Structure 1
């Protein structure tokens, strides 16, 4: 005999129960069907609740008024018959006959009033004394149960007039069901004036009212359920095409250009489906046309770039030879040879960038990965760019608290990114210090290039990676950039699965941050180098000349 263990069923944790409001809020935001049904049920429930409450109050009031009128009528008829009996009797001072008459009056009151809750007591006796009929009570009702206000009204109104009030009538087992008591005077000729109180039990009315209220609430709940079912069916029929259109449009936006909506009938949804399909056909045709134009453009750039390589190589060799002999030329000719050499070099750089861009557009770029420390790469670039920085009177600083551990990257492309960023910072730094920061965390390594130059407007910073775009076309390039450097740098960063971001503020400076994940596709958490720097120019401890306000930076940005 083997023992078996039973795994208990999972119980929802307190955290699960606390998360359901967020789920409902999320469903409310995402689902039009849920919002419509919820609003419909809420408004329907509110309307039915108000209707049921109003009907219950009206029925309660009508039922009470009906029972009150019936009680007043019965009590008045009973007292009137008793008064007639007393008026028609002639017992004089015969005590025995008076007692018999009084017992007959009690019997007539109970019979005519249709209740045994009756009591009577003398209010006043005629002068001269003599025997008067005693107080009587039936069904446990006594004068003491009647309020002083009702007794005062009965004593003031005289005979033929009634007064009433609500009362808790005595009943068995100590219960006190609701009731109504009617008071009126009864005159025993020549003897005394009595106050007579007749009470009626209204518990049957409460039971009737409770039954009516229960019926109303059950009908209301059933009506809400019916409305919910009808709303769900109607919304399902109406929203199904809308949901289908939403899913189809999402697929179209994701790049599936072949999706279309089925057209059913001739109603508004059918018109929507036909319009959507026509729009999708137009978008597909335009995208195909643009794709073909893009391929033609890429092929043209690639072909032209390759075709220009051979003559450019010849021109560069000739320009180098002429530049080497410029010392033998006249000053004007020597200056011309120098300009020719410089522009040929710039042309060669532009052609190389165009070829690189064409490779990115064709999707033929591949990384040559090797384990490299980003801090060492940054240190090499700072050393290479220091002569250029000295020419512009710029101080280069390297701050590297981290980034020394090797990370899989393409060092050639990372060097190109950092070289481009540092070169831009030198050109637009306005002679102020440039800080290159390298740091790392468990997810990524990052390098930031911070200058304290003119800075850019937010709308300019959003376009800084566009090809050939310049924030201020009037500013000349002093280093000889091609206008493609930042675009290529962004491609290199994305090729590594990383990011290249920019922060800039007009008159404060600019900060570029290159972030590379330690593992491809695993760029989680914040960058080790913050995008928005915390330090200012004063924190560097260097006094520089004030910077004139300008619109934005130019150059390769």
Structure 2
């Protein structure tokens, strides 16, 4: 607004100045044309009369006259004349050049009077006049813009005060909006975050009939419903967990009795008829499988109840893997698979629960033997600065990529028609994943049809520490099983820092 008003004031004054100077130039030219000139005294008198006419007709008292250069002047011709404040220091050479080269038209320039850069602003208008008997002259008239400057300054002060008042008003409105709208929304956001974090009792304290109050009431009703449903589900889950735990415990007593009776029959099966002997063998096998299923169900119920705890001790993962491999070597031979251990690292002891880690290794190796199709099974152990990893690689059937997302689900099987050959319960991999998470590690799987599978267990060196990058790559770099490897092949070294 200030710039626009300033431009309008200047343009309005400029139009007035141009009209005023044109009128004054016309009056002076008439005076020159009507005068009888012949001697120097008469010429000077005419020039004086013209200046008086200019001062009378125009609103300017600053008048300067220069002879147009390049003319042959009579010595009696009037000399140059400069009014105080309008001299060669104010009139620029560019303006003089434009006036001297153009006999028609007006030329103007914005200047500062009083001989300083901070003087009052003004406009100088230049035109040509002709003095008969003397030649052409440059006529310059100066117009002061102090009044317009004061008007603009007054407007600017008014706008500044109005701007401050408007800014204060906007700030007050913004503060009111924040208090009325933003603050309740912030409270609702904070309450929802606390609700999402598990604080089911939090509510939004809001009264009134506006939209914010309606939102608060709806939010509180939603929180009440959510809390009620969560409590119902928690109670149902608790009842279910208690039922599984109680049933598993209660089944142990009759199962022990059945196991003792079955063992007696199994030990005397040679004295029975073939059909009875076969029945004793089936009873013995199924009782053993039932015991394993009960043990797994009890373990799962502990995880569901959140009562599973680690019993850590310094353990070498490589040595633990070596022991597990030796224990399962006979089972591998029965299935025609060669069990290999490759351990370039992992000998430094880390704090883990050896019972649970051994159970993970046995589950992974057992699955690899069952699905290995009689091909070699490679157990790899390696370590890095922050983690220890164990991988179990088989080269058997493999499975589709979408199946790997469900392989750790309870009782899930990629091929339901395929029977278990080593007596699994369907809970092994689920328990292995729970054991891994209890250690703060990760259990990953890669598998492709016809290329086999790789299960990789990664544990942090420091309990609760970051895993970082696993020392074993996934997917594996090999696609074919090893060709010639001795039965007891173990390549390793005692690692110090890795």
Query: For the residues of structure 2 that align with 1:300 and 1:107, how far apart are their CA atoms?
Result: 121
Question: Shift of residue 179 of structure 1?
Answer: 5.5
Check conservation: 1:430, 1:453, Cα contact below 8 A: yes
Give the structure with the higher percent helix.
Answer: 1
Query: For the residues of structure 2 that align with 1:409 and 1:269, how far apart are their CA atoms?
Result: 53
State yes or no: 1:380 paired with 2:323. yes
Q: In the alignment, what sits opposite 2:133? A: 191
Query: For the residues of structure 1 that align with 2:94 and 2:321, how far apart are their CA atoms?
Result: 103
Q: In the alignment, what sits opposite 2:474? A: 532
Check conservation: 2:109, 2:125, Cα contact below 8 A: no
1:28-52 deviation per Cα after TM superposition (whole angstroms, max 9, x unaligned): xxxxxxxxxxxxxxxxxxxxxxxxx
Of 354-363 and 299-308, the range deviating more from structure 2:
354-363
State yes or no: 1:109 paired with 2:51. no
State yes or no: 1:63 paired with 2:1. no
1:442-479 deviation per Cα after TM superposition (whole angstroms, max 9, x unaligned): 54433222333444455433333222222332332222
Q: In the alignment, what sits opposite 1:427? A: 370
1:113-138 deviation per Cα after TM superposition (whole angstroms, max 9, x unaligned): 51424214379999xx9965455444
Query: For the residues of structure 2 that align with 1:56 and 1:120, how far apart are their CA atoms?
Result: 38
Of 306-315 and 321-330, the range deviating more from structure 2:
321-330
Q: In the alignment, what sits opposite 2:408? A: 465
Q: Structure 1's 255 and 345: CA in aligned 2 closer, same or farther, altered over 3 A?
A: same
Query: For the residues of structure 2 that align with 1:244 and 1:342, how far apart are their CA atoms?
Result: 63
Q: In the alignment, what sits opposite 1:294? A: 237
1:17-37 deviation per Cα after TM superposition (whole angstroms, max 9, x unaligned): xxxxxxxxxxxxxxxxxxxxx
Give SS of 1:426's match.
helix
Question: Shift of residue 432 of structure 1?
Answer: 3.3
Match of 2:300 among 350, 353, 357: 357
State yes or no: 1:74 paired with 2:20. yes
Q: In the alignment, what sits opposite 1:503? A: 445
Match of 2:390 among 436, 444, 447: 447
Give SS of 1:172's match.
coil
1:115-167 deviation per Cα after TM superposition (whole angstroms, max 9, x unaligned): 424214379999xx9965455444324796545554444x2x4xxxx422336
Question: Shift of residue 353 of structure 1?
Answer: 1.2
Q: Structure 1's 335 and 253: CA in aligned 2 closer, same or farther, altered over 3 A?
A: same
Q: In the alignment, what sits opposite 1:12? A: none
Give SS of 1:296's match.
helix
1:278-310 deviation per Cα after TM superposition (whole angstroms, max 9, x unaligned): 111112212221222222212221222122222
Aligned length: 477
State yes or no: 1:306 paired with 2:249. yes
Match of 2:106 among 163, 181, 187: 163
TM-score by length of 2: 0.81
Q: In the alignment, what sits opposite 2:496? A: none
Query: For the residues of structure 1 that align with 2:318 and 2:99, how far apart are their CA atoms?
Result: 102
Q: In the alignment, what sits opposite 2:421? A: 478
Check conservation: 1:500, 1:512, Cα contact below 8 A: no
Q: Structure 1's 133 and 370: CA in aligned 2 closer, same or farther, altered over 3 A?
A: closer
Give SS of 2:389's match.
strand
Q: In the alignment, what sits opposite 1:49? A: none
Runs of 5+ unmatched residues, structure 2: 486-498
Q: In the alignment, what sits opposite 1:28? A: none
Q: Structure 1's 225 and 441: CA in aligned 2 closer, same or farther, altered over 3 A?
A: farther
Match of 1:281 among 224, 228, 241: 224
Q: In the alignment, what sits opposite 2:87? A: 140
Give SS of 2:443's match.
strand
Question: Shift of residue 95 of structure 1?
Answer: 4.3
Q: In the alignment, what sits opposite 2:489? A: none
Question: Shift of residue 481 of structure 1?
Answer: 0.9
Question: Shift of residue 259 of structure 1?
Answer: 1.4
Check conservation: 1:452, 1:510, Cα contact below 8 A: yes
Query: For the residues of structure 2 that align with 1:179 and 1:413, how far apart are their CA atoms?
Result: 96
Check conservation: 1:360, 1:491, Cα contact below 8 A: yes
TM-score by length of 1: 0.74
Question: Shift of residue 268 of structure 1?
Answer: 1.7
Query: For the residues of structure 2 that align with 1:203 and 1:114, how far apart are their CA atoms?
Result: 11
Of 359-368 and 486-495, the range deviating more from structure 2:
359-368
Runs of 5+ unmatched residues, structure 1: 1-54, 544-557
Q: Structure 1's 102 and 414: CA in aligned 2 closer, same or farther, altered over 3 A?
A: closer
Q: In the alignment, what sits opposite 2:493? A: none
Query: For the residues of structure 2 that align with 1:357 and 1:143, how far apart are their CA atoms?
Result: 99
Question: What's the C-alpha RMSD, in Å, of the aligned pairs?
Answer: 3.7
